[in-house]
């Protein structure tokens, strides 16, 4: 039974820059997911956006995790971006068949849509979601500006998501756009990450926040303050939010996630995170 009030995680589980700070120097790449899953509750399965994994890879992911861990796999971009959800039943069926060993460890199947997917395409989304079994949890991320104006397009989208019990994924990229880009990480992030308003709405039981942090740790606290107010409200209402912490280059993402989790613990009763594997279990996570 899933008793966690909130699930915290990152955009990835494998990053070479985390070798010393998170995994521990002796960790092999094939061991990273298991160590990641010993600390965090979920992960954004970004790898499936670019390519469908092999059957053996999916089996390895299952073996490396436990029943209380949840993935939030993105659907392949061939379906969401190239085909814009049209005529994609065959591709979806094939993808879901490969992923079948992990179906019970998926917190949400993420439908991330491009900025070109606007209100005129909403019926495509409705028809596409009918291809999923009713019990499959779905999260939808839109990027077209019309879905952020609080007008008819956004109201229509939100009402449909609420009716269906689908989660609207919330992008919070404010930190990376908070100043002129003077570093390679910020320049890259400002070129690639969407800049959309933050609408903190829960359309279903598992609202997901994708927080893209500034690469300098101390510049993120001000932007997380509103979430330290909103997340306890959702938890009190019986919802289980997902919080995915990124940074512009993801180098400090584990530390930033642990930092924000500790701050949230001051607002809500949450179990402690385990120590980072690099701490070899002898100390609590070191905060900045």
pLDDT digits (tens, 9 = 90+) for 124-141: 999 999 999 999 999 999
| Beta-carbon contacts of residue 19 (< 8 Å; ≥ 6 apart) | 25, 27
Task: Tell me whether residue 287 is in a domain.
Answer: no
More confident residue, 8 or 185: 8
Chain centroid to Cα 27, Å, comes to 25
- 3-state class of 170 per DSSP? strand
Residue 144: pLDDT band with limits 50, 70, 90? very high
Structural domains counted in the chain: 1
Per-residue model confidence (pLDDT) at position 217: 84
CA distance linking residue 113 with residue 101, whole number of Å: 25
Per-residue model confidence (pLDDT) at position 280: 66
CA distance linking residue 243 with residue 192, whole number of Å: 21
Task: Tell me whether residue 288 is in a domain.
Answer: no
For residue 279 the two structure tokens come to 């701490």
Residue 187: pLDDT band with limits 50, 70, 90? confident
Task: Tell me whether residue 234 is in a domain.
Answer: yes
More confident residue, 145 or 288: 145
Task: Tell me whether residue 82 is in a domain.
Answer: yes
Task: Tell me whether residue 1 is in a domain.
Answer: no
Q: Which of 115, 108, 113 is nearest to 124 (CA)?
A: 113
CA distance linking residue 14 with residue 153, whole number of Å: 38
67: CATH = 3.20.20.410
Residue 276 clears pLDDT 50, i.e. is over it: yes
Task: Tell me whether residue 30 is in a domain.
Answer: yes
Q: Which residue has the tokens 């997917």?
A: 117
Task: Tell me whether residue 285 is in a domain.
Answer: no
pLDDT digits (tens, 9 = 90+) for 83-97: 999 999 999 999 999
Residue 35: pLDDT band with limits 50, 70, 90? very high
Domain residue limits at 169: 7-279
Task: Tell me whether residue 154 is in a domain.
Answer: yes
């Amino acid at each position: 039974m899933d008793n966690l009030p909130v699930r915290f995680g990152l955009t990835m589980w494998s990053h070479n820059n985390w070798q010393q700070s998170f995994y521990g120097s002796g960790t092999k790449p094939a061991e990273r997911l298991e160590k990641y899953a010993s600390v965090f509750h979920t992960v954004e399965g970004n790898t499936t956006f670019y390519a469908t994994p092999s059957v053996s890879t999916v089996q390895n992911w299952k073996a490396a995790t436990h029943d209380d861990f949840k993935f939030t796999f993105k659907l392949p971009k061939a379906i969401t971006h190239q085909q814009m959800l049209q005529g994609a039943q065959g591709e979806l069926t094939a993808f879901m068949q490969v992923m079948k060993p992990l179906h019970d460890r998926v917190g949400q199947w993420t439908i991330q849509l491009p900025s070109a997917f606007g209100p005129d395409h909403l019926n495509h989304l409705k028809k596409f979601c009918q291809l999923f079994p009713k019990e499959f949890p779905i999260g939808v991320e839109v990027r077209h500006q019309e879905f952020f104006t609080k007008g008819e397009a956004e109201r229509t989208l939100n009402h449909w998501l609420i009716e269906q019990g689908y989660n609207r994924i919330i992008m919070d990229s404010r930190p990376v756009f908070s100043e002129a880009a003077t570093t390679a990480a910020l320049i890259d992030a400002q070129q690639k990450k969407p800049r959309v308003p933050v609408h903190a709405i829960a359309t279903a039981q598992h609202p997901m926040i994708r927080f893209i942090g500034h690469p300098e740790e101390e510049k993120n606290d001000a932007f997380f303050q509103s979430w330290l107010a909103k997340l306890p409200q959702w938890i009190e209402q019986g919802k289980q939010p997902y919080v995915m912490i990124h940074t512009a280059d993801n180098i400090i993402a584990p530390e930033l996630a642990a930092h924000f989790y500790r701050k949230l613990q001051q607002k809500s009763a949450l179990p402690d995170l385990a120590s980072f594997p690099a701490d070899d279990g002898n100390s609590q996570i070191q905060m900045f």
